Amino acid sequence: MDITFIFFIGLVIALVGVIPPGLLNMTAAKISLKEGASRGIMFSIGVCVIVCLQTYIAAIFARYLTNHPEVVDILQRVAFVIFVLITIYFLLLARKQPSLEIEPTEKSKHSRFFYGMFLSSLNVFPIPYQAYMTITLASFGWLHFDNFSIGSYVAGAAMGTFIMLYVYIFFFDKIKNKKMTSQKNMNYIIGGITGIIAIVTLCNILMEL
């Protein structure tokens, strides 16, 4: 299969996976609003570095995860705990946020790059998602597990993720004067989103028991 075709498949699949408002894209928008678009982009690049690693792991272990569903169960439980903790953090941060906006401390671009890597590494959902998608693509004969195909798919997934993060940065920059984009409300939005994800994950865990 043509590696260009595989690249665009990876791009579209990753793009669709990041469309719903989530921790990473909302955080990218928040950083862009408070510190400028350049730091939001650096955060997004850090996210994409980890996405490359996660997608590669998912492709390599796709067949293993299919034959051992208990691994996916473990990932779900880990993700549930992580998102509960993140939800509590952002809701408490929003509650303690003073009503008077204070000029945020300037962060370096490098710190935002590594923060993107750190936050993306906490989000384990791309691994089972990409594992499922790579298995599906392989079943159609669209993806083979050779180095060139995997490399092209990983590059496409990283590009698709970056494009959607940039769309969020651009969109929120256009509405930055709206009330919903205050730091306190952004914390509430992120906390609410991660709370919903935690509830959905818990429901999936309980349904599989």
Task: Please write the tens of the pLDDT for every residue from 107-160.
Answer: 566 688 888 898 888 877 787 778 777 877 777 778 887 788 888 999 999 999
Tokens coding 209: 């028991």
Distance CA 110, CA 32 (A): 14
The total of other beta-carbon atoms located within 10 Å of residue 11's CB is 20
Task: Work out the angle between the directed axes of helices 3-18 and 126-139 (0-180°, nearest 10).
Answer: 140
The answer, yes or no, to whether residue 70 has pLDDT greater than 90, is no
The total of other beta-carbon atoms located within 10 Å of residue 169's CB is 23
Q: Is the Cβ–Cβ distance between 61 and 134 less than 8 Å? A: no
Distance CA 206, CA 209 (A): 5
The total of other beta-carbon atoms located within 10 Å of residue 146's CB is 11
Q: Work out the average pLDDT over 57-86.
A: 71
The answer, yes or no, to whether residue 84 has pLDDT greater than 50, is yes
Question: Quick one: pLDDT at residue 48?
Answer: 93
Between 45 and 171, the more confident residue is: 45
Q: Which residue has the tokens 């992580």?
A: 82
Residue-wise pLDDT for 52-65, tens only, equals 999 998 888 776 76
Under DSSP, the state recorded for 165 is: H
Confidence of residue 208 (pLDDT cuts 50, 70, 90): low
Q: Is the Cβ–Cβ distance between 6 and 142 less than 8 Å? A: yes
Question: Quick one: pLDDT at residue 93?
Answer: 61
The DSSP annotation for 18-44 comes to: H-S--HHHHHHHHHHHHH-HHHHHHHH
Integer-rounded Cα Rg, in Å, for the chain is 18
Q: How far apart are the first and last CA of the chain?
A: 40
